[in-house]
Chain A
Amino acid sequence: MNLMFAMVVARLVHLSPVDLAIITIYFALVLGIGFYLKRFAKTGEDFFLAGREMTAWVAGLAFVSANLGSLELLGWAGNAYQYGIMAAHWYWVGAIPAMIFLGIVMMPFYYISKTHSVPGYLKLRYGSEASALSAITFAFMTILMSGVNMYAMAVVMEVVLGWNLHFSIIVSSLTVGVYVASGGLFSAIFNEVLQFFLIWFGALLIPILGLYETGGWGGMVARIHQNFPGQDFTHLWSPMNHAANNPMGVQWVAIVFGLGASVSMGYWTTDFLVVQRVLSAKDVRSAKLAPIIGSFFKMAVPLIVILPGLLGRAVLPFHLVPANLQQPGQFKYDDVLPLMLARYCGPGLMGLGITALVAGFMAGMAGNVSAFATVWTYDLYRPYLRKNASDQHYVSMGRWCTIIGLIISIGTAYLVTRSKSMMDYVQALFGFFIAPLFGTVVMGMLWKRVTRMAGFLGLAAGVASSVTVFILMKLDPNWVNVFCFSPLAQPLAQAMWQALWSTLTCVIVTTLVTLVTQPKPDSELVGLVYSLTDVPREEYTSMLHKPVFWAIVALVLFVILQIIFW
């Protein structure tokens, strides 16, 4: 019965002429915008930082949109189906405090130091060792991520629409290559803002119509309990007193300290892919405000990602399965969003939804490739290969990097074949590089005593410990109980513990090495360390224009959401 229904559903997901026209118009528009913006991307600052003239709203939307790719949408809707509303932790405790911390505490340092990148800040603060390690790992990660986006898009297009895998990879990479190589970060940001609107208008109908069908939140919860008796999919915190009480096998300690204090802080404050968007802001106040504006939208994203996953539990007449257990005719967790789209969207709306997914995938590629081009050009090529070339030369290098980065991404896309879930793969990468990097950056900003060697060794030890924990848990499941304090920990929970251990390792090694090495003189740290920097204050702006006011509003809303869904 399930097989028959699945086959019927699969036939439903096809495109009508109006859907194809909508997709074609999108491709034409982004290519046109890319060619239009090429004339403005003349200097290095234009190409790599969009001229540093974006308003807080544009930078804020691009900031949150860079993390709202289709990989994210499909993966987290799938996780919501698998783990329930607990997946929303990655949008709330796993994002909001970190975004506000970035805006209020860290952004002034990035902005005042006039760096082009996070490795650039590390070079100013610690020297070339930590910077090179960060730049190399980041470049590696962005190329992998770009390839993952490319592969994911091709698979989704193949499964959902029956498009040829190679066709999707070639068309998407050519389009991204043309518009990013033309307009640099200008193009990437423009496309991210377009994508933001497409995703919201393409996906928002699912929760609206889904809640209408189920009779509201209460009706949806009742249906889930009816379909899956004895399991709790609709509470955020209460099932986390013990790992056995929730489908993720996680305790609150891992969510608060692993996700909230390690992964999230690392990702939102040091992942250059997102920080680059805020660095494009026109002044310090806009740079502080951009992540806070982004935090409000981030808080709302569960509406179009988590809720469709929960609604899938309530209304789909068959059960989705893990990717590694999928049989012919069955659908996996990550298919829930396209399935819900097919359930409610006919011609036209289906085209809009698919265009939103395509835009999300391409924005994911573009974001990674543009960040890769910047880090390669400014943090690896310029300091180590060619120091004193002209600005034009570096812009040209950035354009070539975009093309070369995409070619490597295509290679990566074909390598990505084995993963239980797409997001598990992403979380593993975050854990390797991002969590320890946060320890290094934030200690350097807040403690002037931290030394050059301590920064490098702390970061290296953090990455090494992260990789070690990951490999041990994969090789022998007994290590899961050791590192996660529960044998029930699922991959997402394991990633949180892995990040926590790597951050702790980084902080401990950094502290110990600092205590036995010689610090830099204060004069070399002005503008880089909190106690030695005069951060501009908005004393003469009204309350409603102060970033800190909106930061408090965001935090209050965040707390209210936790209480409502406790």
Chain B
Amino acid sequence: MTEKHQIIPVWFFVGLLLLVYGVMIVISGLLHWNSPPPNVELTELHAPVWWGSILTVLGAVYCAMFRPGRS
């Protein structure tokens, strides 16, 4: 991202955050698979599992593409 300064690209931090959040949300979704939270609609769609998976994959791709030291 920068030329004058060798700063870690902001995309790496984005990827890191999405990766960590994605894993946490997927795990949470799996833990609640058979005991969905009360008063939440459409729990049968298991949104945390597939939405968290999307975050995890995207985060992993960003982390890999923009990791520090990669030219």
Contact = CB atoms under 8 A, between A and B. Distances in A.
Contact of B45 (A25, A54, A212, A352): A212
B17 interface: yes
A209 B43 contact: no
B42 A53 contact: no
Contacts of A344: 40-42, 47
A240 B7 CA distance: 50
Interface string B15-38: 011101100110111001000111
Contacts of A22: 21, 24
A279 to B, nearest CB: 16
B24 A343 contact: no
A57 to B, nearest CB: 9
Nearest to A201: B55
B38 to A, nearest CB: 8
> Which of A194, A205, A209, A346 has most B Cβ within 10 Å?
A346
A347 interface: yes
Interface size class of A (residues with CB under 8 A): 35 or more
A29 interface: yes
A251 B52 CA distance: 44
A194 B14 CA distance: 6
Nearest to A196: B14
Interface string A36-54: 1100100000100001011
Contacts of B1: 53-55, 58
B71 interface: no
Given A18-B24, A21-B24, A348 B45 contact: no
Interface in A148-197: 186, 189-190, 193-194, 197
A472 interface: no
Nearest to A41: B5
Contact of A213 (B3, B4, B42): B42
A26 interface: yes
Interface in A7-35: 8-9, 12, 16, 18, 21-22, 25-26, 29, 33
Contacts of B2: 51, 53-54
Interface string A333-366: 0000000001111111100100000000000000
A332 interface: no
B48 A346 contact: yes
A547 B36 CA distance: 49
Residue of A18, A53, A189, A342 most packed against chain B (CB within 10 A): A18
The secondary structure that dominates the A interface is helix
Given A18-B24, A205-B47, A349-B48, A190 B55 contact: no
Nearest to A345: B40
A209 B3 contact: no
Contacts of A225: none
Given A18-B24, A53-B3, A282-B3, A29 B42 contact: no
B36 A346 contact: yes
Given A344-B47, A347-B32, A51 B55 contact: no
B8 to A, nearest CB: 8
Contacts of B51: 201, 205, 349
A33 B32 CA distance: 33
Given A201-B18, A346-B37, A347-B32, A352 B25 contact: yes
A250 interface: no
A352 B16 CA distance: 14
B42 A209 contact: yes
Nearest to B14: A197
Interface string A53-88: 111001000000000000000000000000000000
Contact of B4 (A25, A53, A212): A53
Contacts of A254: none
B17 A349 contact: no
Nearest to A12: B39
A58 B10 contact: yes
Interface hub of A51, A201, A345 (most chain B Cβ within 10 A): A201
Most chain-A Cβ atoms within 10 A of its Cβ — which of B7, B21, B32?
B21
A143 interface: no
Given A197-B14, A198-B17, A348 B28 contact: yes
Contact of B47 (A40, A51, A342, A349): A349
Contacts of A29: 13, 16-17
A194 B17 contact: yes
Contacts of B16: 29
A352 B14 contact: no
Contact of A25 (B14, B20, B47): B20
Contacts of A201: 18, 21, 51, 55
A29 B7 CA distance: 16
A53 B5 contact: yes
Contacts of A194: 10, 13-14, 17
Most A-side CB within 10 Å, residue of B13, B27, B38, B43: B13
Contacts of A40: 5, 7
A8 B27 CA distance: 27
Nearest to A209: B42
Given A12-B39, A347-B32, 4 more contacts: A26-B17, A342-B39, A346-B29, A347-B48
The 4 closest A-B pairs by CB, nearest first: A348-B28, A348-B25, A346-B37, A346-B40
Interface of A: 8-9, 12, 16, 18, 21-22, 25-26, 29, 33, 36-37, 40, 46, 51, 53-55, 58, 186, 189-190, 193-194, 197-198, 201, 205, 209, 212-213, 282, 342-349, 352
5 contacts: A190-B10, A201-B55, A209-B47, A212-B42, A344-B47
